[in-house]
Structure 1
Amino acid sequence: MLIRKAEQRDLPRLLEIYNREVVNGTATFDLEPLTLAERQKWFDAHNRDNHPLLVAEVEGVAVGYASLSRFHEKAAYGTTVELSVYVEPAHCGRGIGQTLARAVIDSARADPRTHRVVSLVTASNTASRRLHEKLGFRHVGTITEAGMKFGRFLDVDYWELAV
């Protein structure tokens, strides 16, 4: 497995991985698949400032990614970034998500512009909860029934890591 900075050529594959979760899962609260143009805006906001976007590549194919994104648009939040990790289902359970998350968190620790890494995790996502615990995140609260997807309300856990 190779962990590397995402490149423009990766975008269609990253979109495919993300949209699979949009359609089938609750890790994201997007309800409709995103277009390539919509995801391009997200891509363009990464790999600059304190917002890395890393890809896990297996046998030449991107199978997952991790990013640190702006947590909030207001300027005072600039030292806080939000972690996202998505791995293709066929490659889950192999440590790829953890390796990606550690790599992107290492970049946060090395960047003096970053003070906190936060994650918003669907409370029923036990794999993500375990990952955040392994990474040293602290659970700081839950918003009950924060969103609705697939006809049911979903709680969202907030996690934070001081870097």
Structure 2
Amino acid sequence: MPASIRDATPDDVPAITAIYAAEVLGHVNSYEYEPPDTVEMARRMHALLDTGYPYLVAEDGGGIAGYAYASSYRARIGYRFTVENSVYVAADRQGRGIGAALLERLIAECGTRGYRQMVAVIGEPTNTASIRLHEKHGFHHVGTFHGIAWKHGRWLDTVQMQRGLGPGNHEPPHER
């Protein structure tokens, strides 16, 4: 059964927290060292929702299989039409198209909200699954920061990818 994508709710926070904790502890897709608890994850979710960003979950087989959200790329006002995406899929459900479904819906949601650019910040050039996912959804490689972070006893590179939303940067934005 394909994943069903919907808006996240506070009831989803425990599952989101568990998915993120596995990433924090075992991988380099997040540069945090300690996984946040459910209280902190709920605070983060509400901060994004309260400022109008989309926050989505994928249900697959009755449980939360993954989640995605958009957030501000940078805080300064000139960046207000650019978002950064985050997509996480539970380890036992990867490779089933869940990340693609989440990213596709996230792109659509951000486009309808008037954002014009989406940036992906991918931990490590060896994360080819994430790079391919973003390429399939129209992202192009714009650069790699070398040795920008330290985690798990090594320096990490970070890949930056970008795609336009709606008319992108080909016409002025509508003020938000």
Match for residue 26 of structure 1? Answer: 28
Which residue, out of 129, 135, 146, partners 2:148? 146
Q: What does 1:129-144 align with in structure 2 at a 5 Å threshold?
A: 129-144=131-146
| Amino acid paired to 2:93 | H
Match for residue 39 of structure 1? Answer: 41
Q: Distance in 2 between matches of 1:61 and 1:54?
A: 14
Gaps of 5+ in 1: none
Match for residue 101 of structure 2? Answer: 99
SS at match of 2:103: helix
Match for residue 120 of structure 2? Answer: 119
Q: Distance in 2 between matches of 1:89 and 1:100?
A: 15
Q: What does 1:11-90 align with in structure 2 at a 5 Å threshold?
A: 11-90=13-92
What is the CA deviation profile of residues 19-51 of structure 1, one whole-angstrom value per residue up to 9, with x for unaligned ones? 110001111111111122221221112335441
Larger-Rg structure: 2
Given the two structures, how large is their TM-score scaled by the length of structure 1? 0.95
Q: Distance in 2 between matches of 1:49 and 1:121?
A: 24
| Amino acid paired to 1:120 | V
Match for residue 4 of structure 1? Answer: 6
- Greater than 6 Å deviation, 4+ residue runs: none
Gaps of 5+ in 2: 166-176
What is the root-mean-square deviation of aligned Cα atoms in Å?
A: 1.1
